[in-house]
């Protein structure tokens, strides 16, 4: 089977590798020439994806996987085309920006061969495949869906850093526009994926047909929006607990000991390509969804709320040196997509603080590239805010930051004993919070 993968990023490239490893002849197309060059050299273009480099080293020299910038080289004659192009959301309007997706769809449509299965794996608003991309392909290619080509929505459900593991672990959802499209999609993904046994599931792990692209689109949005709403509830509990001398982490542990409670952990920010983005994609087609909108707004407000609480405790941040620990959106990755570091730095600067940023995954030049002053452990600081839960920050102490007047732990990761004698504000832990000024503490 010849398979083309459109966009060879942190999800698309591992998918291309997975298909090639399963015996497909794979051509990947990407608009970034440097990305293409590295892949054709069997070199991992980004760090941190388990097993990716080993598989590239095996598959590329064997001729099972290659990359190109030319759609005319990748698309014609393909049995299946898989699209994993990024979809962006406008920060101000919360509306999806289809520019890259539209461009990719037009390019593949210009070169589409009859009989091809076209699978969109990029998360989309409900109705987008049927209402936007299928008409676009039909108009440009002159081919008719369910007769000359077959479109399916099959959302990626993996996390960067463990893509190959997640491909085995989670059911592969599909939703096509016809029975023949469903049959071809099932046949394609069953040829490319293997699945772990999941006794916790009500049906065997594998390819699950949801019956329509709309159901498949909603399933992906629902599973991620659920997390954002749950975190919003946890953050609401955390802010209340902090103000009332309660440890919310003990409360959550106690609540979740009952099998019908599944409260997530609170945090200073919800980052990454998925959780802060997909609720907005959902809202683009269901603007009256009050719960979703409220949770997204609340989660986005937490960085500024914690900076405001720090300012109240210290009296004034004007001219103070504020250090943000962590640029990545989560522990263990070098990725700043929708990271909380941006609103934290912005809020600190609005209060007049001089801001520096530290992250174990970024060197000083990279931090400066974001417009931040790099911080070195051991330098003086007035205020410290933990933004990322990198394990290294568990061992950071007041002695590492001479002159520190307050630490705000937005991830509940610091060790209390390391900060003895220093006011410490932990999101959600009212028993650890201090309402004293540094002079009174």
In a domain, 86, yes or no: yes
Co-location of 207 and 252 in the same domain: no
Co-location of 123 and 271 in the same domain: no
User: The domain spanning residue 386 has which CATH number?
Assistant: 3.40.50.720
In a domain, 223, yes or no: no
Co-location of 169 and 302 in the same domain: no
In a domain, 400, yes or no: yes
In a domain, 188, yes or no: yes
| Model confidence at 390: pLDDT above 80 | yes
Select which of 10, 55, 274, 405 is catalytic: 274
The whole-chain average pLDDT of the chain stands at 95
Sign for the CA dihedral angle at 228, 388, 414, 421 comes to negative
In a domain, 225, yes or no: no
Residue 220 among the catalytic residues: yes
Number of domains in the chain: 2
Co-location of 31 and 94 in the same domain: yes
In a domain, 242, yes or no: no
Mean pLDDT of 113-120: 98
Whole-model pTM: value is 0.91
Co-location of 289 and 438 in the same domain: yes
In angstroms and rounded to an integer, the radius of gyration of the C-alpha atoms of the chain is 24
Q: Sorting pLDDT into bands at 50, 70 and 90, what band is 434?
A: low
Q: By residue range, what is the domain housing residue 98?
A: 2-211
Q: Rounded to the nearest 10 degrees, how much is the dihedral formed by the CA atoms of 258, 261, 265, 269?
A: -170
Structure tokens belonging to residue 306: 């914690």
Q: Sorting pLDDT into bands at 50, 70 and 90, what band is 413?
A: very high
Report pLDDT digits (tens) over 76-101.
999 999 999 999 888 778 899 999 99
Question: Exposed/middle/buried for 138, CB within 10 Å: 0-12, 13-18, 19+?
Answer: middle
Select which of 10, 64, 220, 405 is catalytic: 220
Co-location of 88 and 184 in the same domain: yes
Co-location of 255 and 166 in the same domain: no
Co-location of 368 and 295 in the same domain: yes
Contact in structure between 75 and 108 (CB atoms under 8 Å): yes
């Amino acid at each position: 089977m010849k398979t083309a993968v459109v966009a060879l990023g942190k999800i698309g490239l591992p998918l291309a590798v997975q298909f090639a490893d399963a015996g497909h002849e794979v051509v990947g197309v990407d608009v970034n020439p440097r990305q293409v060059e590295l892949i054709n050299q069997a070199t991992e273009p980004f760090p941190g994806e388990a097993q990716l480099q080993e598989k590239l080293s095996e598959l590329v020299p064997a001729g099972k996987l290659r990359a190109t910038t030319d759609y005319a080289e990748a698309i014609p004659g393909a049995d299946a085309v898989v699209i994993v192009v990024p979809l962006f959301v406008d920060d101000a309007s919360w509306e999806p920006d289809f520019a890259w997706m539209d461009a990719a769809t037009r390019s593949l449509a210009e070169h589409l061969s009859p009989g091809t299965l076209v699978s969109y794996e990029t998360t989309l608003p409900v109705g987008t495949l049927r209402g936007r991309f299928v008409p676009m392909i039909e108009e440009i290619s002159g081919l008719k869906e369910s007769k000359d080509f077959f479109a399916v929505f099959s959302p990626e459900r993996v996390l960067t850093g463990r893509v190959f593991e997640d491909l085995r672990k989670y059911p592969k959802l599909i939703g096509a526009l016809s029975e023949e499209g469903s049959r071809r999609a099932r046949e394609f993904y069953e040829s490319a994926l293997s699945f772990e046994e999941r006794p916790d599931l009500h049906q065997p792990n594998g390819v699950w047909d949801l019956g329509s692209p709309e159901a498949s689109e909603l399933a992906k949005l629902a599973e991620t929006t659920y997390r954002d709403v749950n975190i919003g509830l946890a953050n609401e509990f955390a802010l209340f607990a902090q103000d009332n001398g309660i440890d919310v982490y003990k409360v959550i542990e106690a609540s979740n000991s009952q099998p019908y409670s599944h409260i997530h952990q609170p945090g200073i920010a919800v980052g990454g390509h998925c959780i802060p983005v997909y609720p907005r994609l959902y809202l683009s087609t269901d603007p009256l969804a009050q719960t979703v909108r409220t949770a997204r707004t609340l989660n986005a407000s937490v960085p500024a709320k914690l900076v405001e609480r720090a300012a109240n405790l210290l009296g004034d941040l004007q001219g103070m040196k504020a250090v943000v620990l962590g640029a990545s959106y989560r522990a263990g990755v070098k990725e700043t997509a929708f990271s909380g570091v941006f609103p934290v730095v912005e809020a600190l600067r609005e209060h007049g603080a001089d801001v520096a940023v530290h992250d174990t995954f970024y060197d000083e030049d990279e931090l400066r590239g974001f417009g931040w002053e790099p911080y070195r452990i051991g330098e003086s600081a007035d205020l410290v805010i933990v933004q990322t839960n990198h394990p290294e920050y568990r061992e950071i102490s007041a002695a590492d930051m001479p002159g520190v007047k307050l630490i705000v732990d937005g991830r509940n990761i610091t060790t209390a004993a390391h900060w003895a004698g220093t006011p410490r504000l932990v999101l959600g832990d009212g028993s650890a919070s201090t309402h004293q000024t540094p002079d009174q503490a």
